[in-house]
Each structure stands twice: as structure tokens, then as C-alpha cells.
Structure 1
Amino acid sequence: MNLRRRRNKANNMAAFSEHVETTSTVTESAEMDKTEPPETTGDSTASDLEAADPKPELGSDEDEEGGEPPGPTIRDTPEDVHLEAVANTVALHPSRDILVCGDVDGDVYAFSYSCTEGQNRELWSSGHHMKSCRQVRFSADGSKVFSVSRDKSVHLLDVERGQLLTRIRKAHESPINSLLVVDENVLATGDDEGTLKVWDLRKGTAVMDLKHHEDYISDITVDEARRILLTSSGDGTMGVFNIKRRRFDLVSEYQSGDLTSVALMKRGKKVVCGSSEGTVYIFNWNGFGATSDRFALKAESVDSIIPVTDSIMCTASTDGYIRAVNLLPNRVVGCIGQHPGEPIEELAKSWDSRFLISCAHDQLIKFWDISSVPQMSVNEYRKRKKKDGRMKPLNKKAFGQNNDFFSGLLEETDKKEDDDEEKEEEDEDDSDSD
């Protein structure tokens, strides 16, 4: 932003001094300049001083406090990151304000982000993949970045410079679709044909190579003990693999749609899978064969799931909405944000749990404030649904409102609607008892 420069006081004082020396008396000045207005009553010296050093106009730079330019603008969330192509995947550094993303052209980018306006920076880019980059992930210590691609390769990059450290060519016979960093020595990958491979990075070879899915592996997660791998697949099943014993355990019953994502909730006691039909399937730990519960979101799909607390998760969909969903009781809490009309590919959570990051087909990476989500509580009593079907916004820009005024109006409206709903429910309870 271009700021106006402050006027130089030294020049003003020099001009005043020159004026005092050249002006001897009021009479001489009048004779030299006939066009000067007639002299008014009062002290001539005072009038000359006022003419030489006029008062600054209101709103001028000299009226600003200390004459210093305003500081940088601090935002609630970092600015959007604009990309040259659609990003398939995004991941966040485990301890620093750095993100990496991979796009449909096979490029991997690293950015630093900040809430200070204009401070987002591209750190480096890598074009080593020949085809679309499907997923990127940081190592546990944040020093390396792993990426997998449709070109069937696995790449290991240095975070500081983006330098290619290791490449596994032809890691799979089919394009690789999913990736999980299990620990500093173990990596898991899944491909379009349903094959799961587990890699020992110390040996540089796969120690597990199993095919028990009939379609692509969409997502992979692991338990806290790093012993059981869970996979979601396009064939509608969830796979269970024991990586300590290097064996396959079982697959779940078939669901009606593709299973597109998998995550652990309730301190590892529940497993949730998103689906292409917009339904969330819930499994009990050690009860992987059949679902224990399910509930349908008003969404076209559930393509990505990120746990925020033990009970609340964020889901992304092809309809462009990011929903906050409570598990048991199963409830859509509200809207975190949206990419209007654009399918969202993936979600990620910042290292301090302050921001949620999303990438979509609009070639944008957006940041959402989720700092208030952990403090939310969900009443087990199911409230009456709003007549207009609108979700409750959970931050200022959930529906694109960047103005605090409109955000306040929304909060007041939601509060009024909640009060009205509670009043209606009380009235209904009274009428039933009567």
C-alpha cells in the first residue's frame, strides 16, 4: 500500500525565517505589493507568523499520531493462496507455519503463511513428477515431504529447499492414489487397483504387498500404537491390516457407495468412513466387520475427514461445503466454510489447531478459523431443524462474510432462531403433557 509522505518541517521553518528577514515593516510591504488585502486591526507580527506557518489541515499526515505510517494489517486468518492449477492435496508442517500442496500438473509447492496481510510466501516448487500429484505428507519431524503420483512413483523431498532426496520409480504397477507416513521408517501407499504396500525406508523396499480391495484405495490411517492400518476403498469396504505381523486381517461388509475417507474418533474407540453418497459409516474398534451406526449428511459426498476433537470432525464435500459434525450424538454442528460450487479435494489442520486448510477446484487454498470449535458442546436433545435449511456459520467468513457487521447480524439472527426454537419446543412439551 502506497502511503503519503509527511511534509518536511525543516523546509517550513526555513521559509518562515526567510520571510521574517525580508519583511521590514508593514508600510514597505504594502508599497511593494499593491494587490495585498488591506491590513486589519491587530498585531502585524502575529499575522505574519500565521501566514508563514499555516495550521495543518484536518486529516493531514501531521495530525497522525507521531507522524508514523500505520502498521501492517493483521487478519483473523491468512490470505488465500492462489495456484496456477487445481490442487489435489494439501498438508501442513507439524511445528511451523508451512504448507505443501500437489497439483494436477505434477508440481509440488511449499508456502509459508501468516496472518499479517501480504506475508504469504512461496518457498519453492518441484516439478519432478511426470503426472498428477495425488497426495503429499510431511515426515513426523517436519524435515521431509513425501509425495505420490499418477506416474506410479514415490518422491522424498527436503523441506528447506525442495530438493529431491529419494525417488522410488515404479513403486506400484498402477497409479498411486493414497499415502500415509506411519513413522520415521515406515510408509504406506495404496493404488488405483486396490493394492496396499508398506515400505521400510531403511531398506528401500516394500515389506508388505497385499491386494484385498477390488477398487482404488482412497485413504489410509493408523492407530495410535502404529500397529493396525485401516484403508477405505472405492469398492465400498474398509480393510484392516496388521503391519506389526505383516498380514491382512479382514475387510468390512460392503456399503452402498464408495468409501472415500477414514479417520479415528472417540480416542480410537470409533472408526468413521465417509462415502460418495454423503453417508458417514461408524465402526466400533475390534468390530470392523459391520457398521455400528450410520448417518446421512445433506451433502453430495464426504471426501475428506479431519478430526478436530474426540467428538467433532470436519468434513469436505463435492458441493463445496466444509461441515463441522459431532459424533454421538450424530449432528451437523454448522458450516466452517465453503468453496462456492467447487468440489473440495482435501482438508488439513494446522500444527496449533487454530486453522483448517482446504484445497478445491477453484485453484485456491483457503484458511478457516476453527479455534472456537473445541469449546462447542452439543445437546443430546435434537432441536427442530431450521425451516430454510441453512447451516449455522461457525466463523466470520463461513459463508463469505468478511465484514464484522454482517457477521454480528448473523450471530444475533442465529441466537434469536435458537431462542424461538427452544420456546416452540417448550410449548410443544406443555401441550403434550396437557
Structure 2
Amino acid sequence: MTTSTKGKVPTGFADEIVISESSFRAAQRGPEFKAGQKRKRETKGDSSVVYGVGAYKGPWAKFRDPTPEDSGSEEEVTDNGTDEEDAAAVVEPPPKMATDYAMTEAGETTEFHGNDVYDYQGRTYMHVPLDLDIDLSTDELKNYYPKKQVFTWKQHAGSSITQMHFFPNSGHLLLAASASGKVRLFDVYHDKEMLRTYSGHTKSCNDVTFNNDGTEFLTASYDRYMKIWDTETGACKAKFTTGKTPHVVRYYPSDNNQFLAGMSDKKIIQYDTRSGELIQEYDHHLGPINTITFCDENRRFITTSDDKSLRAWEYNIPVPIKFIAEPYMFSMNRAASHPKKPFAAYQSSDNQIVVYASSERFRQNRKKSFRGHNNAGYAIDLDISPDGNWVMSGDTGGFVCFWDWKTCKMVHKIHASNTPVVSCAWHPRETSKVVTGDLDGVIKYWD
């Protein structure tokens, strides 16, 4: 009688299946692996090291790619090296303070465009002019909204204006950054000429800010660099990078030797300009950082992000003291502090300006909401008059809108451009002087 073999596996066939599966897994790992070989992990690192070489990774240590020296035996792939040896093999992160031009195509340059570098007394444009019919040192003034255009600067034409700031306290100079990567300085009085161009960013310059006395300013660009410039000479004094794109930069008002930068990788980083070292990270947001606003006598600051939330922080402490994220909230991409009261106004992406308290509770003031303009799709700038009575904002339709702070009613609207007005600033020492910048790179001065 013949024995049936139906449903049975021939001898040795199961072994062949096991071998084939092992070979298949090895093939998935790469041509360097052999059957039965295990993948190496990076060292766990030293728990006392937070950043840099040998930083603690713990159970999150990644797999290392095999090297030609790695063999197929399990005994030989076992990690017998010391932590110091493994730490030395780890690739160093990008420098916190860049000292070369590895990420840029050219160095920093500057060009003076004015008539004379020095006046008859040997003073540069940094000196506050005294031959004007207005005292640029006065603090108390009553503001009014402007009605007519008095001057136009077209030196940035062809590239969008991204940010503008008047010279601190006096306002006799205007600093403007553009999408071309160039930053230009203009004289607000006398001949209203362009004074200097600062070149050194290879991509759009998305933020610029003065220090307290205006002797230097800080720029942030999509070329992933933050640079400190000397306002008078145009020299680049320092530059910083983490390999990520900075969206917003702010000097610490109480100590201009430190600054904060909001990055595209959801972090707020803190630098010391003297050592060039990254000294603190604030890492709780879930999206790129949009605004940084100091408050409460500079002991705290508020940040907003694309994650549609607001967080308040104690300076130097990387844990938020307040977190606000409501279902009705939109991302807030521009901010302005009230000069007289503990409030901060934010440009919300749902076509309104919302107000939050910048004191202990950090609550939204639901009675303060400024509407009537359109900002969807653009990072539209806003500003508050020095006396705190007027709120100003750009508009995607080319308008400049003015609201009364107390009543929240729109009181004035100027058609300033045929393209979106994306930047605006209020003169710190004039009653009704404002400046606007549009998507075409045209800067207009209003009174």
C-alpha cells in the first residue's frame, strides 16, 4: 500500500524556510549585514550632559549604521567601548556661534550712501539732530491718526518689506528689512536720504530689532543665521546659527548682552552675545514660534506659535507658567505691547486683533477686539501709538487701519498701496507720524 504524502512537509523544508526568513531580514537591514547579526545602538551618553557631545540619550539612542569593520558574529558586534570613546565618535552638532561662512555664499558688506559721513562737528548720523522744530527727547505727547502722505522711499522696491523699526527713543532714523536679505537705514529728517545698506544675508530677512540705545541691531533670516550689526559702521559683530530658521528675535531689554530667538523647530533659544553660547532653551510649543513679547518689567515674556496657543514664561526658567489654547483660537503672528497698560495686542489669523493681559493672569480681554481689516494669508504687522490711544494695522487690500483703543471702533482708514501693507510703525516722538511698507518694497511716510 502506498503512503500518501499530501499535507506533509518534506524533510529539511522547514529549515530552509527559517534560513530564508533570516536572510530576508538581513537583506532588509542592508548589504553590510549578515544573517544573525545585530544592529548597534549609539551610546546612551552621560546623564549629566544635556547638550553637545556625549549628551544623554537613554532609551532614545538611535541605531548606528554598520561599518566595514563590523563582522557578522554577535561577539564582535557587542559594544565593549567606554562612554568616552563612544562620545568621541558622535558627530558634533552645528556650532552655536558660527565663525565661518559654511552656510553662506559671501561675507557681510556695507555701503554708505549719504552725502557726508561726518557733520561740521565730526558727528555721524547716530547723533540726534537738534536743529529741528520738534524736541526728540520729550516723553509726553498726545497722538492723532495721520491723514496724508509726506514722503516715499523706493530703495527696497522689488522685494517685500518684512520689518521696520524707528531708532529707539528719538526716532530720527528708520531701519527696514526686506525679502532680498538687505537691511537699509534711512534718515527721517533733513533730506530723508538712504544712509546705509547692510548686506550679508543670502535669503529673506524676516525680522530685525534694535538694542536699547540703537548702537547695534539684530537680524534673522531664512538662511538660518542671526547676525548682530553695528549701526554706525555697518560691521557684522557676531553671527549665530543652530541649523534651523529663526522667525523672530528680541534683545532682552534689561541686558542687551542676551537675546531670544523663536525658531522653526518649535523652540525659543537664549544666547549670550559675549560668549556666543546657547545658554537656555524653552521647548514646549508644538509649532514654529511667531512672536516674543517681554512683559512684567522684563521678568517674563509671552510667546505665540503656529500651534494656536499662547505661553507665558519666567525669564531663564524653561517651564511655562501659563498655557492658553482654546478651540476658537487662531495662530497669532504679530504682536505689540501697550506702552501704558499691562496688555499685549496680537494679530490673529481670523481677521481680528485680540488683546491679552501681560500681568499675573495672562487672560484674554474679551472686551478688546479690533475688527474690520483683512489679514488672512499674510503676516500683517500692527503697532500702538506712544500714548496708547490708537491701534494701527496693515491690510491685505492695501489699507492702513486705525482703531480707538477705548471703544475698539475703527476711526480711520487710508488706502496706502495697491498691494498688501505688511509692515507699519508709529514714530516714538511725533504726534501723528507713521510709516508703512508694502509687498512691493515701497515705504511711505504719513502725517
SS at match of 1:137: strand
Unaligned runs of 5+ in 1: 1-75, 370-434
1:351 — aligned with what? 428
1:46 — aligned with what? none
Measured in 2, the distance between the counterparts of 1:77 and 1:161 equals 31
AA aligned opposite 2:278: A
Identity %: 17
**What is the number of residues matched between the two proteins?**
289
AA aligned opposite 1:220: I
Measured in 2, the distance between the counterparts of 1:264 and 1:307 equals 7
Selected match of 1:339 from 416, 430, 434: 416
2:192 — aligned with what? 120
AA aligned opposite 2:301: L
Distance 1:344 1:206, change over 3 A: farther
Judge conservation of contact 2:309–2:325 (CA < 8 Å) in 1.
yes
Greater C-alpha radius of gyration: 1
Distance 1:193 1:360, change over 3 A: farther
> Structure 1 residue 266: deviation in Å?
7.3
> Structure 1 residue 291: deviation in Å?
5.2
Comparing both chains, which one has the higher relative contact order based on Cα–Cα distances under 8 Å and sequence gaps of 6 or more? Answer: 2
Selected match of 1:176 from 239, 242, 246: 246
Measured in 1, the distance between the counterparts of 2:435 and 2:300 equals 27
> Structure 1 residue 353: deviation in Å?
3.5
Selected match of 1:98 from 164, 173, 180: 173
Judge conservation of contact 1:276–1:303 (CA < 8 Å) in 2.
no
AA aligned opposite 1:240: A
Establish whether residue 298 from structure 1 lines up as the match of residue 372 from structure 2: yes
Unaligned runs of 5+ in 2: 1-147
> Structure 1 residue 297: deviation in Å?
1.1
Establish whether residue 208 from structure 1 lines up as the match of residue 286 from structure 2: no
RMSD: 2.4
Measured in 1, the distance between the counterparts of 2:274 and 2:319 equals 20
Judge conservation of contact 1:93–1:350 (CA < 8 Å) in 2.
no
Judge conservation of contact 1:223–1:268 (CA < 8 Å) in 2.
no
Judge conservation of contact 1:251–1:288 (CA < 8 Å) in 2.
no
Measured in 2, the distance between the counterparts of 1:348 and 1:290 equals 24
2:353 — aligned with what? 280
Distance 1:259 1:353, change over 3 A: same
1:110 — aligned with what? 185
2:333 — aligned with what? 260
1:421 — aligned with what? none
- Deviation readout 1:121-168 (Å, 9 max, x if unpaired): 222212211211011111111111211111111111111121211111
Measured in 2, the distance between the counterparts of 1:346 and 1:205 equals 32
> Structure 1 residue 358: deviation in Å?
1.5
1:381 — aligned with what? none
SS at match of 2:307: coil
| Higher mean C-alpha deviation, range 135-144 or range 182-191 | 182-191
2:439 — aligned with what? 361
> Structure 1 residue 204: deviation in Å?
2.0
Measured in 2, the distance between the counterparts of 1:267 and 1:196 equals 27
Selected match of 1:196 from 263, 268, 292: 268
Judge conservation of contact 1:227–1:244 (CA < 8 Å) in 2.
no
SS at match of 1:174: coil
Richer in helix (by share): 1
AA aligned opposite 1:212: H
